[in-house]
Amino acid sequence: MEHAETAGNKIIFSVWFGLLGLTVFEVILAYQELPLGTMLSILMVLSVVKAALIIAYFMHLRYELPSLFVTLIPALVFVLIMMTAIFADSSRLAHMPSLVR
């Protein structure tokens, strides 16, 4: 039952080259003159794409029952979104340099 369907060589090697290519793109991007926020946003979107490729094909989640995905991923994403609440506080600190020293 666990081998109903798996990714073939063609898919695995395509994903591998895709991940290597995205990495090269990220490195080139790091040397461009971009505002830090823009750079961070682009890099994080690319990282999420890479993570999704690894989860879907290397970790095989695309070929499992949808129930496994539904159990594992949405709750994790929700927790991560909740954790971003702390950043409002950190930018407050940035305007109080005497505290950061």
Site string for other proteins, 45-64 (x = CB under 8 A): -xx--xx--xx--xxx---x
- DSSP letters spanning 46-77: HHHHHHHHIIIIIS-GGGS-HHHHHHHHHHHH
**Is residue 38 near other proteins by the rule CB under 8 A?**
no
Residue 84's CB is within 10 A of a number of other CB atoms, namely: 8
**Is residue 93 near other proteins by the rule CB under 8 A?**
yes
Token pair in block for residue 69? 């995905």
Residue type, 81: I
Residues that contact other proteins, how many (by CB under 8 A): 55
Residue 54 CB, nearest approach to other proteins (Å): 5
**Is residue 30 near other proteins by the rule CB under 8 A?**
yes
**Is residue 80 near other proteins by the rule CB under 8 A?**
yes
Cβ–Cβ under 8 Å, residues 44 and 87: no
**Is residue 84 near other proteins by the rule CB under 8 A?**
yes
**Is residue 41 near other proteins by the rule CB under 8 A?**
no
**Is residue 40 near other proteins by the rule CB under 8 A?**
yes
Q: Say how far apart CA 8 and CA 25 lie, in whole Å.
A: 26
